[in-house]
Amino acid sequence: MTTAAARVEARADAAAADAANDARAEVTKIPGVSKATAAKAVKNGYYHFVVDIWITNFNSIEFGIYKHSRNRAKSRQFTADMDIFAEILEGGERTGLIGYREDLWKNKDTKDKRLVFKIFNDSLNWRATMDLMLGRSLQQTIASRGLPVMVYSINTDEDAFVVYLERSANKWPFMPENFGFFITGKDGQPIFYRIKRDFINLGGDYTVYDQQGKKIGHLDGKIFSIGGKWRGKVKVEHADRRLLSVLQLFSALQVFNGDCRRHMRRLWRDVVNGKLKPTIDAQEFDLYKNPRRVR
């Protein structure tokens, strides 16, 4: 090889190395995501994840009474009625687990029936919680004259602010539903998002839009999965752990979405007919208190 050719090859190798370094630097800028996971999960400018719903409780996380007790010892957020029903995969590896409080949802009367989701990492440390807020949901459902409007509060270990995910009351029969929420950016500015169900979909597909109406992500529900499976992707420039947690919880919510609508419609009907006096759980009640009150 001539000296000139060697120089050309060396410059090409250096350029390729610089490009590879730039690419690695790009994927490691996702807040709340490890470099190793980001390197595997980012493809073609999108961060990819999977939410896989299990159909039975026979799994390595909570099988057996003793195992469940050990899980409770690992995290105070892992309550006695916690049922782990889904796993989160990022970069082909399990990075999280999703559970819900089974007793609150299945065994309570209408006025006390609540839906509470929680995300844990693979070692069962708490990462996020999503609650169906009955007070706000009933308020919005009454205002929409019976159209179920569910409001969920989401708090994560990555943020000092609560995220409120809300189903839009601007919905015509047989038309796609929309959900909205915002996340506070690092500069203190809110970033608004909308999740819209695809008009033509078979497995429960949703598209994620930013505040300018640009498509920045998608949730692809798999029609032939037994329990339920959603493949999600978000543009790298929007991806951070808080947004990913919201979308992962939203994906798991789809298993309960129809039941939530029926629950709110039933609750609304009983309240407006005078058959039920609504109550608000103490934990939810705390979220409505005036932060400037004298303590």
d(C-alpha 111, C-alpha 107), whole Å: 12
pLDDT in tens, 186-239: 788 899 999 999 987 777 899 999 999 999 999 999 865 556 899 999 999 999
Residue 206 lies in a domain: yes
Question: Which pTM was predicted?
Answer: 0.84
The backbone torsions φ and ψ at residue 259, rounded to the nearest 5 degrees and listed phi first, read -65, -35
In a domain, 39, yes or no: no
Q: Which residue has the higher pLDDT, 41 or 7?
A: 41
Quote the pLDDT of residue 71.
63
Domain-embedded: residue 196: yes
> b/e for 52-89, b at 16 or more Cβ within 10 A?
bbbeeeeeebbeeeeebeebeeebebbbeebbbbbbbb
What's the confidence (pLDDT) of residue 183? 93
pLDDT at 281 exceeding the cut of 60: yes
pLDDT in tens, 75-119: 677 888 898 999 999 999 999 999 999 999 998 888 889 999 999
**Residue 3 in domain:** no
Q: Which residue has the higher pLDDT, 127 or 111?
A: 127
- H-run or E-run covering 71: helix 65-74
User: 66 near 253, Cβ under 8 Å?
Assistant: no
Q: Is residue 251 part of a domain?
A: yes
What is the Cα–Cα distance from 111 to 268, expressed in whole angstroms?
10
User: Does 180 map to a domain?
Assistant: yes
- Distance (Å, whole) CA 143 – CA 149: 9
147-176 average pLDDT score: 91
Q: Whats the size of the chain, residue-wise?
A: 295
Number of domains in the chain: 1
Beta strand spans in the chain (E):
42-43, 46-53, 82-90, 93-101, 116-121, 126-132, 151-156, 163-167, 178-184, 190-197, 206-210, 215-221, 229-235
Note down the domain range covering 204: 44-287
pLDDT above 70 covers what percent of the chain? 81
> Is residue 20 included in any domain, yes or no?
no
26 part of a folded domain: no
75: nearest Cα among 49, 99, 111:
99
